[in-house]
């Protein structure tokens, strides 16, 4: 590509990015559009207030950006499970869910491709495989907590919440142990899920994407030459038959990204609410067997993935509203998890809650989180071990939250354990 063409492309990208940003700013500030306010980085501290304002306007609300949002558990569930919706338009029109242009594998595939590739990855998360991970997860947790104990005062995110899922997913994928590099690459890509807001961010993202592709290309080559009894070797064996090289590379990259930015934030959000209400923490300390219930309540009350989206692949009626073909619906999972039609006293964090209906933190329908058994295992063991080893843990300074709308969780969480 000539340098003139490259410059033209960069100029087009930039003007498109700033035009989009100006449009969102206009609707947020001048016209008070709630969804525009929600997606602007650094323009709110508490998304839950905006969700409540949206809920007051009805179960399915049009936004000024031309799509719909829903805060209703019932409507989210219906949209996520409906075959009349997909994760990308089938005729190639605007892909609202992935404006960063990343190849997110399963997350942006409709059937039949989605069905074919999900079937290949599913064996990595069977109950038998999970049982095999218990020891590995425990070993990783105890090693990190030993280090935290020696430090006494530490940042819960950098010393525990972040290295744990990285260690687990590195092992799952058979990657070389290089936690700092993987953390940097994963978080750059995760940040882009909220869109690209500057040329600098676009450049960093492109570099991170290229670096991850090279890392996985090398891993796939190693497993091709020397197969082992692991997920990546099993997938490599299918290559050419049921999965193309490009699909395989995108799938393993998705497993890495989906496998740690989410779990990191769930640990951070969970400890945030447990320590904010000491009574809840003390209940867990007295009975660490409550950890599985804690996990479900944390995921309901403040889920790391706050929203996802679906596009209608045919005209369809939802919640008495006619949705036209190619219309996007933003399913606000975090808002649905606090829907008073489903959860009594929804804004109360209560680890003793008995919910008859499952939260939507892992989404629903065919894209229901494939890694949910592993996430539940890691989170249960993490909360249990923290309560057993550090019953006196407390926060020592304000938490800094990460910017962004799609992923929610602390960036920094200073604590002491003495």
Residues in touch with ligand HEM (CB under 6 A)? 106-107, 118, 169, 254-255, 258-259, 262-263, 266, 303-305, 308, 361-363, 367, 369-371, 374-375
Asked if 260 and 165 count as a contact pair (C-beta separation under 8 A), the reply is: yes
**Nearer CB in complex with ligand HEM: 190/205:** 190
Burial 214-228 (b: 16+ CB within 10 A, else e): ebbeebbebbeeeee
- The CB-nearest residue to ligand HEM is 371
| Phi, psi values for residue 141, rounded to 5° | -65, -50
Q: How far is the CB of 327 from ligand HEM (least distance, A)?
A: 17
Asked if 165 and 258 count as a contact pair (C-beta separation under 8 A), the reply is: no
Q: How far is the CB of 323 from ligand HEM (least distance, A)?
A: 17
Distances (CA, A) of 59 to 289, 332, 414: 37, 11, 38
Tokens in use for 275?
Answer: 């320590």
**Nearer CB in complex with ligand HEM: 67/204:** 67
Tokens in use for 389?
Answer: 């080893």
**Nearer CB in complex with ligand HEM: 193/208:** 193
Cβ atoms < 10 Å from Cβ of 48: 16
Rounded distance between C-alpha atoms, residue 380 and residue 296, angstroms: 9
**Nearer CB in complex with ligand HEM: 126/198:** 126
Q: How far is the CB of 348 from ligand HEM (least distance, A)?
A: 21
Question: Residue 86's Cα: distance from chain center in Å?
Answer: 18
Residue owning tokens 């009975």: 287
Q: How far is the CB of 180 from ligand HEM (least distance, A)?
A: 19
**Nearer CB in complex with ligand HEM: 80/148:** 80
**Nearer CB in complex with ligand HEM: 47/371:** 371
**Nearer CB in complex with ligand HEM: 17/169:** 169
Rounded distance between C-alpha atoms, residue 251 and residue 231, angstroms: 11
Q: How far is the CB of 146 from ligand HEM (least distance, A)?
A: 23
- Return left, alpha or beta for 208; rule: phi > 0 is left, psi -120 to 50 is alpha, else beta: alpha
Q: How far is the CB of 22 from ligand HEM (least distance, A)?
A: 28
Q: How far is the CB of 294 from ligand HEM (least distance, A)?
A: 13
Q: Angle at CA 90, nearest 5°, toward 118 and 21?
A: 100
């Amino acid at each position: 590509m000539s340098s003139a063409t490259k410059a033209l492309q960069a100029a087009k990208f930039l003007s498109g990015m700033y035009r989009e940003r100006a449009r969102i700013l206009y609707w947020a500030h001048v016209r008070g559009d709630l969804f525009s306010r929600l997606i602007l980085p650094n323009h709110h501290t508490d998304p839950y207030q905006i969700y409540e304002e949206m809920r007051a306007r009805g179960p399915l609300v049009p936004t000024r950006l031309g799509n719909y949002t829903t805060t209703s558990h019932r409507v989210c569930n219906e949209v996520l499970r409906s075959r009349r919706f997909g994760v990308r338009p089938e005729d190639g029109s605007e892909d609202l869910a992935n404006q960063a242009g990343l190849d997110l594998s399963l997350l942006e595939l409709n059937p039949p491709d989605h069905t074919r590739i999900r079937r290949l990855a599913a064996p990595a998360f069977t109950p038998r495989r999970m049982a095999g991970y218990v020891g590995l997860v425990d070993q990783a947790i105890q090693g990190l907590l030993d280090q935290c104990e020696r430090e006494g005062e530490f940042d819960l995110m950098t010393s525990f919440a972040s290295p744990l899922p990285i260690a687990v997913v590195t092992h799952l994928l058979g990657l070389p142990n290089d936690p700092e590099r993987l953390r940097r690459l994963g978080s750059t890509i995760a940040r882009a899920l909220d869109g690209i807001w500057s040329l600098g961010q676009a450049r960093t993202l492109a570099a991170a994407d290229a670096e991850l592709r090279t890392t996985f290309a090398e891993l796939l080559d190693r497993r091709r030459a020397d197969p082992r009894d692991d997920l990546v070797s099993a997938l490599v064996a299918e290559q050419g038959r049921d999965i193309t090289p490009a699909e395989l590379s995108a799938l393993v990259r998705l497993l890495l990204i989906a496998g740690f930015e989410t779990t990191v934030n769930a640990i951070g959000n969970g400890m945030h609410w447990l320590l904010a209400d000491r009574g809840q923490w003390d209940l867990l300390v007295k009975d660490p067997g409550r950890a599985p219930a804690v996990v479900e309540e944390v995921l309901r009350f403040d889920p790391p993935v706050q929203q996802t989206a679906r596009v209608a692949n045919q005209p369809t009626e939802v919640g008495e509203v006619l949705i036209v073909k190619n219309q996007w619906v933003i399913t606000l999972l975090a808002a649905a998890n606090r829907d008073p039609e489903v959860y009594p006293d929804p804004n109360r964090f209560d680890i003793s809650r008995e919910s008859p209906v499952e939260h939507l933190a892992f989404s629903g329908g065919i894209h229901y989180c494939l890694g949910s058994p592993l996430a539940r295992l890691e989170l249960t063991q993490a909360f249990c071990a923290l309560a057993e080893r550090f019953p006196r843990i407390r926060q020592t300074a304000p938490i800094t939250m990460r910017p962004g709308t799609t992923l929610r969780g602390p960036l920094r969480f200073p604590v002491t354990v003495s």
